[in-house]
């Protein structure tokens, strides 16, 4: 029997998304699905957001400069627009030392550039030849690791000089992502990708002294890798093949795709984030042919679509913000826009306009939803009559 429990929510989300995005004649249309709010960051082009672990209301955004928020991502202040940045990392414990990587490297053929600030972003100094996807030591703010074309690199002088860690490279694969476990920082995971999009994983369980590598041919199109906040051996990998979980540091993988809409042979997922206090996971979709949105799941539960993508754009990065007053999700879109979704008090159905916005679109959404449900009911009645005949 074909299971339809994951298909029906996707159909409902598609109908609601279709009517909640874009103008409707003779109505005050809301350009965003329910509960999404555009971040007050002006015309900035954003590519990545980082939450400061010691102060979860403080966030940094990278893009056509470096920006900071101290209210959980609602409003932002530009720290510098002197250079373009692909990511920002905060040295644990200090809050004063920041690193901003440019993201140059394999694709451009140029060595990356790293910028360092020792005064919380007031001033910046360049460091030539720096890698990306940085991991800063919790003990020494000048001890930094990053990934580059050749593998994983380490600097012990704040990014002035770098050394390739032996055994961390995968021949003919480019470095994409470096993740360090929070509960046991001896665990490091590096994601590589071939020219055709096949991923490979390098892992170290001794702080980068030794590495084991393996190719992951069944998980094409690597999008994101997350390490469980409590268990450094439990990984969540997001790719075009969907969501896969490993409980043995990436040696074996199990698919967790129940409830996710599928486009042909692929799921087209781009990013994952979690609320470590509840074990709830959130996924961002990069699909262009199915409902683009956010999906949620508890431990070992099917995924559920909770809202459309903001402004109909694909989601490049999804970040959980454990702000003290207002937990939220931040979405960085492929167009470089930044949106915020407050999580508590989630009233109404996913994808519906906010109260008082676009009443005509609201009515049309219920009409289409009702038609879809009525059609499914008619189909079930016909099948019942056929079985009785």
**Phi, psi for 228 (deg, rounded to 5):** -55, 140
Is the Cα torsion angle 153, 156, 162, 164 positive or negative in sign?
Answer: negative
Here the tokens at position 94 are 């200090």
DSSP single-letter state for residue 266: B
In the numeric block, the tokens 């016909």 are attached to 382
Residue 278's SS3 state is coil
The residue extents of the domains of the chain are 16-34+357-389, 35-356
Task: Compute the half-sphere exposure of residue 187: CA atoms within 13 Å on the CB side of its CA.
Answer: 18
Class of domain 35-356: mainly beta
Q: 351: alpha, beta or left, given left = phi > 0 and alpha = psi -120 to 50? A: left
**Phi, psi for 205 (deg, rounded to 5):** -115, 10
Closest by alpha carbon to 130, among 151, 160, 85, 165? 160
Please give the model's pTM, rounded to 2 decimal places.
Answer: 0.80
Task: Compute the half-sphere exposure of residue 126: CA atoms within 13 Å on the CB side of its CA.
Answer: 10
Residue 47's SS3 state is strand
Per-residue pLDDT of the chain (389 residues; tens, 9 = 90+): 333 334 344 444 444 454 443 332 222 333 455 578 999 999 999 999 999 988 889 999 999 999 999 999 999 999 999 999 999 999 988 789 999 998 765 655 555 789 999 999 999 999 877 788 999 998 999 999 999 888 999 999 999 999 999 999 999 998 999 999 988 999 999 999 998 899 999 999 999 999 999 999 999 988 899 999 899 999 999 998 999 999 999 999 999 999 988 777 788 788 999 998 888 999 998 765 555 689 999 877 899 988 888 887 889 999 999 877 678 999 999 999 999 999 864 333 333 222 223 333 333 333 333 444 344 444 444 444 444 44
d(CA 376, CA 370): 10
């Amino acid at each position: 029997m074909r299971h339809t429990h994951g298909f029906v929510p996707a159909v409902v989300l598609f109908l609601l998304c279709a009517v909640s995005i874009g103008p409707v004649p003779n109505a005050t249309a809301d350009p965003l699905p329910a509960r999404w709010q555009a971040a007050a960051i002006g015309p900035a082009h954003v590519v990545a957001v980082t939450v400061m672990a010691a102060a979860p209301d403080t966030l940094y955004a990278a893009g056509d400069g470096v920006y900071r928020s101290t209210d959980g991502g609602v409003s932002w202040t530009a720290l510098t627009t002197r250079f373009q940045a692909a990511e920002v990392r905060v040295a644990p414990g200090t809050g004063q030392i920041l690193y901003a990587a440019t993201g140059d490297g394999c694709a451009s053929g140029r060595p990356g550039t790293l910028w360092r600030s020792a005064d919380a972003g007031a001033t910046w100094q360049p460091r030539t030849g720096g890698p990306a996807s940085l991991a800063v030591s919790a003990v020494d703010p000048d001890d930094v690791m990053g990934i580059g074309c050749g593998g994983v690199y380490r600097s012990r002088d704040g990014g002035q000089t770098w050394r390739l860690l032996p055994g961390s490279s995968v021949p003919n694969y480019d470095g994409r992502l470096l993740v360090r476990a929070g509960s046991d920082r001896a665990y490091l995971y590096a994601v590589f990708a071939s020219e055709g999009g096949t991923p490979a994983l390098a892992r170290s369980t001794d702080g980068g002294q030794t590495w084991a590598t393996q190719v992951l041919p069944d998980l094409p199109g690597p999008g994101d890798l997350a390490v469980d906040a409590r268990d450094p051996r439990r990984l969540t990998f997001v790719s075009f093949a969907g969501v896969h979980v490993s409980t043995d540091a990436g040696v074996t993988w199990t698919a967790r795709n129940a409830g996710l809409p599928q486009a042909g042979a692929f799921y087209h997922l781009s990013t994952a984030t979690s609320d470590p206090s509840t074990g709830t996971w959130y996924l961002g979709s990069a699909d262009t042919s199915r409902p683009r949105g956010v999906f949620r799941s508890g431990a070992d539960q099917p995924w559920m679509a909770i809202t459309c993508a903001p402004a109909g754009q694909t989601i490049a990065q999804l970040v959980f913000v454990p702000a003290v007053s207002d937990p939220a999700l931040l979405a960085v879109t492929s167009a470089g826009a930044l949106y915020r979704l407050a999580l508590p008090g989630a009233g109404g159905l996913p994808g519906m306009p906010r109260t008082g916005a676009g009443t005509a679109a609201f009515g049309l959404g219920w009409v289409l939803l009702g038609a879809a449900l009525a059609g499914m009911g008619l189909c079930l009645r016909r099948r019942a009559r056929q079985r009785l005949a």
